[in-house]
Structures are given as structure tokens and as C-alpha cells.
């Protein structure tokens, strides 16, 4: 399934659930992979903003995050380096408090993951956020794969740097796309058999190569290019597209 042509008229299936160029119902079992963005998609917060709050820099960091997610900053890697630099001096315990006290799954997240796994799909979490959160969510939800950025911590304190990993330095939009394509290859499916869900501009590249792109309470630029837009309710509203016998 190709990216959504701008000429296709959106059609509201029900309040807050819009599709373009799709004939619902689909069959969930016809897909083999679902890829989730993390911040503001699978979970309720932008983790970098909440960590910055501990450093008294949330307003400054959140402004950069918002601009990056809206697609107003073209160099995602540099924008992330700038934000992470402002986290220098935050303790690992303060990061842990963000996970314990502020991070929540978005409504319907666990239900959608369970439904996809029951239908035989593999589940990928691919994020421009941080392994501290992504790896814990992978274990908590029994996800199959997770890729995100590694904050450097020395003596229990953030250094303000990101640690390169075996696959590269920063998981930006291009790396999200590559990760989805490589995961499809790994599990032996076509990208057209993949679903990608996201909310920000750095999700557009992975959304452009899959069979079903889903915008969840997304920025306008993302909503306009997705096959499916969920603007009300939880992530599990995606299941309304699929027939019961799927």
C-alpha cells in the first residue's frame, strides 16, 4: 500500500476515527508486524521533556521537542543532541522517578498489543526516545523488539550525551524506517504487511513504507499523510478497522 495521495478524501468511520483510501473491514491476520512510536503514542509523555523538568529546563526543552515533532526542525539528530545536552546533571534516580511517577501507557495500548500478538503479529517499539524507558516497556508488555537511544550515565548522573550503539548513533526518522524494513526482513514479511503508529514528523519515514500508517492524536503534518487517524479514544480504536473473524 503506497503513501496516502493528498487527493484522497478522508472518511470518518466513527467520531474521531478517520481513514483515507481504505475499504474497512480489514483482516488483522493479514499483517505480520506492528511498529509503535513510544513518546506520546504508546505512552502519555515526552520523556525528554519530563527529565528536563528535573533540571528546571522543561520549557526550553519542550519547545524544541514540539518544533521537531511538528516537522519545523529538519535535523532531528541535532535537535535531540541539543535537548540531551540540557539534561546534564540529572540523576539516574530522577530519571527513575519519571518512569515511576509520570509515565503511563496511553489508553488502549495494552489491549491493542495483546490483540496484535493474539493475531500472530510481532510487535516493535522504535523510538527517538531512550532505552531507559523503551526497554522497560518492552519487558512490561512482552514486546518482540525495541530500538531507541542510549543516554550516557556516569556515576549515577546524566552526562548530557548519547552513546552510539551497534546499529548507529541516534534513532531518527531514517533509522525508524530502516528498523521497520530490517524487522520485516528478519521475520520474513513484506513491508506492506506492516502497520506503523506514530504522532510526530520523525515517524513519517517509517509510516511511508508500510501497508497501514496510523496517526495517533498526531501533529497536523502526520495526520494529513496517514491512512488512519485516531483523534479520540485509545490506541485500541485501530481494531475497529478489522473484521471480527480476523
Domains and CATH numbers, the chain: 12-44+105-241 (3.40.50.1000)
pLDDT, tens digit, for every residue of 79-112? Answer: 999 999 999 999 999 999 999 999 999 999 999 9
pTM: 0.94
pLDDT, tens digit, for every residue of 211-220? Answer: 999 999 999 9
Please check the confidence at residue 180 and state whether its pLDDT lies above 50: yes
pLDDT, tens digit, for every residue of 137-146? Answer: 999 999 999 9
DSSP of 60-77? HHHHHHHHHHTT--S-HH
pLDDT band at 8 (very low <50, low <70, confident <90, very high): confident
Alpha helices in 70-201 (DSSP H): 76-85, 92-97, 109-118, 131-141, 173-187
Return the SS3 of 148: strand
pLDDT of amino acid 24: 65
Catalytically active residues are 37, 39
pLDDT, tens digit, for every residue of 134-178? Answer: 999 999 999 999 999 999 999 999 999 999 999 999 999 999 999
Do residues 225 and 3 touch, judged by C-beta distance below 8 A?
A: yes
pLDDT of amino acid 246: 40
Q: Give bridge partners of residue 146 from the DSSP assignment.
A: 125
CB atoms within 10 A of CB 118: 10
Residues 6+ apart with CB under 8 A from 88: 55, 158, 159, 160
CA nearest to 54, candidates 183, 157, 169: 157
Give percent of the chain with pLDDT exceeding 70: 96
Please, how many CA atoms are within 13 Å of residue 218, restricted to the half-sphere of its CB? Answer: 31
pLDDT of amino acid 224: 94
Please check the confidence at residue 17 and state whether its pLDDT lies above 90: yes
Q: How far, in Å, CA of 95 to CA of 47, rounded?
A: 9
pLDDT of amino acid 1: 41
Q: How far, in Å, CA of 26 to CA of 121, rounded?
A: 15
pLDDT of amino acid 77: 94
Amino acid at each position: 500500500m503506497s503513501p496516502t495521495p493528498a487527493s484522497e478524501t478522508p472518511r470518518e468511520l466513527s467520531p474521531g476515527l478517520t481513514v483515507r483510501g481504505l475499504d474497512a473491514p480489514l483482516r488483522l491476520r493479514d499483517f505480520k508486524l506492528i511498529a509503535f512510536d513510544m513518546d506520546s503514542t504508546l505512552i502519555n509523555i515526552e520523556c525528554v521533556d519530563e527529565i528536563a523538568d528535573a533540571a528546571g529546563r522543561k520549557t526550553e526543552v519542550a519547545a524544541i521537542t514540539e518544533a521537531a515533532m511538528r516537522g519545523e526542525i529538519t535535523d532531528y539528530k541535532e535537535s535531540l543532541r541539543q535537548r540531551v545536552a540540557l539534561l546534564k546533571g540529572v540523576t539516574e534516580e530522577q530519571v527513575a522517578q519519571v518512569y515511576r511517577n509520570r509515565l503511563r501507557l496511553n489508553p488502549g495500548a495494552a489491549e491493542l498489543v495483546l490483540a496484535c500478538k493474539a493475531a500472530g503479529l510481532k510487535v516493535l517499539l522504535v523510538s527517538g526516545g531512550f532505552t531507559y524507558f523503551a526497554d522497560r516497556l518492552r519487558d512490561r508488555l512482552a514486546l518482540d523488539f525495541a530500538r531507541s537511544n542510549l543516554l550516557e550515565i556516569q556515576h549515577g548522573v546524566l552526562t548530557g550525551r548519547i552513546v552510539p550503539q551497534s546499529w548507529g548513533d541516534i534513532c531518527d526518522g531514517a533509522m525508524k524506517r530502516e528498523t521497520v524494513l530490517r524487522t520485516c526482513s528478519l521475520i520474513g514479511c513484506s513491508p506492506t504487511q506492516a502497520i506503523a503508529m506514530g504522532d510526530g514528523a520523525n515517524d513519517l519515514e517509517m509510516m511511508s513504507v508500510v501497508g497501514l500508517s496510523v496517526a495517533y492524536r498526531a501533529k497536523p503534518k502526520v495526520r494529513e499523510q496517514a491512512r488512519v487517524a485516531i483523534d479520540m479514544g485509545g490506541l485500541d480504536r485501530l481494531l475497529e478497522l478489522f473484521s471480527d473473524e480476523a
